[in-house]
Chain A
Amino acid sequence: MTRIKFTEQLSELNNELIQMGGLCESAIDTCVDALLNNDQSLAPVVSRREREIDEKESEITGLCMKMLLHQQPVASDLRQISAALKMVTDLERIGDQADDIGEMIVYTASHHLDEHSLIEKMGAATKKMVRDSIDAFVKQDIRLAQSVIKYDDVVDELFISIKKSIIEAIDKKTIDGEYASDILMIAKYFERIGDHAVNVAEWVEYSITGHHRKDEENA
């Protein structure tokens, strides 16, 4: 009887996590759209998503705590729940960063985005990482999770090239100082989102295999 209820709770946890993932994806999709189309009207949409994500986070944390206390799970069940607890933290951070980018659109909108193609690439790359990491969770696909972890290098390199091009522009004095710092920050936010997506992927890996990368690296 308790086991049936526990299984129900586990699948509810799964569904809630997927929904939270969907919210994160939508947040980052919207903010990339807003950035590329200079569409300030999308900024409130992103911040609404961010609030929804926060609500989901506390909902999921509560559910996890309830399960831990009432069911006292062991083995893979425990692993699943602890991975979920860690994942929501990263997902929530992704929502925050997307919201931060959304807020910056107000400042960047007046400029024509010179670094457009690079930022566009970076946005697309982080979008892909977030989508794939959540897909990896949904499908319990360990190879997809590993590909997300690898893909982080692409985003890191893009960040470096954006930084370089901004420095060049500053050297040539072809860029406004405030705008330059905004773009750099947006790029940094994207890079952070990529890192959180990697964390999510690592927790997916952990919930499947029971081994976490960080442990092995330390060992």
Chain B
Amino acid sequence: MNKTIFRSVLLACCIVMVFSLAVTLFFLNSYFINVEFENLRAQAELTARAIDEVGLSYFDTYDSSVYRITWVDSDGSVIYDTAADESTMENHLDRSEIVTALTAGHGQARRLSDTLSLETLYSAVRISDGSVVRLSVTQASVLRITLGMIPYMLIVLALALVLCMFISKRISARVINPLNNLDLDNPLENDTYEELSPLLVRIDNQNRQIAGQIDTIRTRQKEFDAITNNMREGMIILNSSDLVVSMNTSAMKLFGGSSSNIGRNILTLERSPQFTKAMEEVKQKGRSEYFFERNGFVNRLIANQIQDDNSHVLGTCILIVDETEKVLSEGMRKEFSANVSHELKTPLHSILASSELLMNNLVKEADKMQFISRIHNEAEHLVTLIEDIIRLSQLDETKEFPREEVSFQEVAGSVVEALEQNARERSVTIEKDVDNLRISGVQRLVYEIIYNLCDNAIRYNREGGHVRISVHRNADTVELKVADDGIGIPSEHLARIFERFYRVDTSHSRSTGGTGLGLSIVKHAAMVLGGQVEVDSREGLGTTFTVSFPADLLC
């Protein structure tokens, strides 16, 4: 800016200087030449008159230092010259001033010397005898004067240079200052040069565009945050140098980080060897995955490289998925199938062994009946077991059961009827205290619940024990209770008794003929009906199972 101004100002200075010099020289020169001519003419006329009167003898006294006088005859031959030998001089009839003087009585001319540095003025006057007297004077030419002025001009130029520098500095400062003080946030409110308004209008437009774009980006960021923060999965995004760009709340909770980790290296958040290895693997293979346990949850960490279209690495995306349930249910499934095969195998082995003995006639006639009844009992047990499994899988598979009106009194009555024989065999008394309540439910499932609870209560009882079935209405629930005063369940087993095939005492259960599935069925059936099962038991004193249904199921 400063330089440009300086250059233009200097250029303007120089141009003005040259032109003004030229004009001045031109005018002064022509003026002085005119004056000189007039002088010369006056002198020429005086000389002419003198020569006219005294003839050649005039020259005897003439001092030739100022003017050169040439006397030319009318035929052009030189009669006398004060500066040269007239005999060597050529005919002067071709000189314009002589020609004019011969015809008009006076003529003048001006001629530059060969070097251009000198010029000569001539003034010729005709005298009475027809010859011409010419006076000439030689002086420095305009060019010479100009050349002589150059040193002074250089001094002036140097002055101009300094002045230009000063001025350009001032000007640029004065021009720039308001520009620097422009309020670019509100460009239209500036009070500055008019010439700037197109720029300011454009800036204003761009400002608005930028603000709009920032707004869009911010909204998107908010949406992104809202989405990721509501994710149960942890998500972390890293840039190409492993700095955290974004991290959702789940990830923060899992790794114990805070927003201060954003912008810092991921290692400040998690530094386990497993993790650093995974990060290295991502860099090499583009993907890494591993399971880890934290705070009692099993998590799967998946790290993926993010690449753009030109397969240029932009960063890494880390996803942490809670797999606890999956791992647990996988374990439970494995255990279940192992249990099922075990439970099915045991009676079959017994049947096989007994039947083989019978087949090979290795059994005494008297014992045959005993073996046959063992085969029968085991087969019966197998059937019960398979029925239980089928029931359970039905419960697992069926999502919706058609609802009907179920009367607790009726169901409890048929359960007692079905189990009376069993109870009598073990000398257990069944008591009923069932209110006349009806709920909207599934008859078969309510039956399963009461049947299995009572069956257990009888099975795990002692001689002369009691089982009491009661159904009452509470404030907002209907409570079905099956209580016994039998052997009870040790407290350490209470949490697990609803698991499939779980048994408190395996040897005892087998002898009593249970399948280990009863309570699973109860829990499942209650869940399907919308109820909850609770258990309260003291070892040696008895057990109470409470199934509570919400009161709004009541009909």
Q: Which residues of chain A have a CB within 8 Å of any CB of chain B?
A: 11, 14-15, 18-19, 21-23, 25-26, 49, 52, 134, 138-139
Residues from chain A with Cβ under 8 Å of B273 in the complex: 19, 22-23, 26, 49, 52
From B271, B274, B275, B276, contact of A138 by CB (8 A) = B271
Instruction: Give me 8 other A-B pairs in contact (C-beta within 8 A), A15-B265, A23-B273 excluded.
Output: A15-B267, A19-B271, A22-B272, A22-B276, A25-B272, A26-B274, A52-B273, A134-B271
Give the complex CA separation of A174 and B242 in angstroms: 56
Give the complex CA separation of A18 and B269 in angstroms: 10
A184 to chain B, nearest CB (A): 30
For window 216-243 of B, CB contacts with A under 8 Å fall at 242
B346 at the interface (CB under 8 A from A): no
B373 at the interface (CB under 8 A from A): no
Residues from chain A with Cβ under 8 Å of B267 in the complex: 15, 18-19, 22, 138
Q: Which residues of chain B have a CB within 8 Å of any CB of chain A?
A: 242, 265, 267-268, 271-276
Assess the B271–A25 pair: CB atoms within 8 A: yes
Give the complex CA separation of A138 and B258 in angstroms: 13
What are 21 A-B pairs with beta-carbon distances under 8 A?
Answer: A11-B265, A14-B265, A15-B242, A15-B265, A15-B267, A18-B267, A18-B268, A19-B267, A19-B271, A19-B273, A19-B276, A22-B272, A22-B273, A22-B275, A22-B276, A23-B273, A25-B272, A26-B272, A52-B273, A134-B271, A139-B268
Residues from chain B with Cβ under 8 Å of A14 in the complex: 265
Give the complex CA separation of A21 and B271 in angstroms: 8
Residues from chain B with Cβ under 8 Å of A23 in the complex: 273
Residues from chain A with Cβ under 8 Å of B275 in the complex: 22
For the complex of A and B, the 4 pairs showing the least CB-CB separation, nearest first, are: A22-B271, A18-B267, A138-B268, A18-B271
B319 to chain A, nearest CB (A): 21
In the complex, the chain B residue whose C-beta lies closest to that of A8 is B241
Residues from chain B with Cβ under 8 Å of A49 in the complex: 273
B271 to chain A, nearest CB (A): 3
Give the complex CA separation of A141 and B265 in angstroms: 16
Residues from chain A with Cβ under 8 Å of B274 in the complex: 26
Residues from chain B with Cβ under 8 Å of A52 in the complex: 273
Identify which of B273, B274, B275, B276 gathers the most chain A CB atoms within 10 Å of its CB. Answer: B273
Give the complex CA separation of A52 and B271 in angstroms: 14
Give the complex CA separation of A75 and B290 in angstroms: 42
Give the complex CA separation of A19 and B266 in angstroms: 11
A26 to chain B, nearest CB (A): 5
Give the complex CA separation of A14 and B271 in angstroms: 12
A192 to chain B, nearest CB (A): 22
In the complex, the chain B residue whose C-beta lies closest to that of A53 is B273
B356 to chain A, nearest CB (A): 44
Give the complex CA separation of A52 and B268 in angstroms: 20
In the complex, the chain B residue whose C-beta lies closest to that of A137 is B268
Give the complex CA separation of A49 and B277 in angstroms: 13
Residues from chain B with Cβ under 8 Å of A138 in the complex: 267-268, 271
Give the complex CA separation of A18 and B273 in angstroms: 10
Give the complex CA separation of A21 and B270 in angstroms: 11
A62 to chain B, nearest CB (A): 19
Give the complex CA separation of A148 and B271 in angstroms: 19
Give the complex CA separation of A216 and B265 in angstroms: 33
In the complex, the chain A residue whose C-beta lies closest to that of B267 is A18
Give the complex CA separation of A168 and B275 in angstroms: 45
Give the complex CA separation of A44 and B65 in angstroms: 128
Residues from chain B with Cβ under 8 Å of A26 in the complex: 272-274
A45 to chain B, nearest CB (A): 10
Residues from chain B with Cβ under 8 Å of A11 in the complex: 265
A5 to chain B, nearest CB (A): 14
Residues from chain A with Cβ under 8 Å of B276 in the complex: 19, 22
Residues from chain A with Cβ under 8 Å of B271 in the complex: 18-19, 21-22, 25, 134, 138
A197 to chain B, nearest CB (A): 15
Give the complex CA separation of A26 and B275 in angstroms: 11
Give the complex CA separation of A23 and B271 in angstroms: 8
Give the complex CA separation of A52 and B280 in angstroms: 15
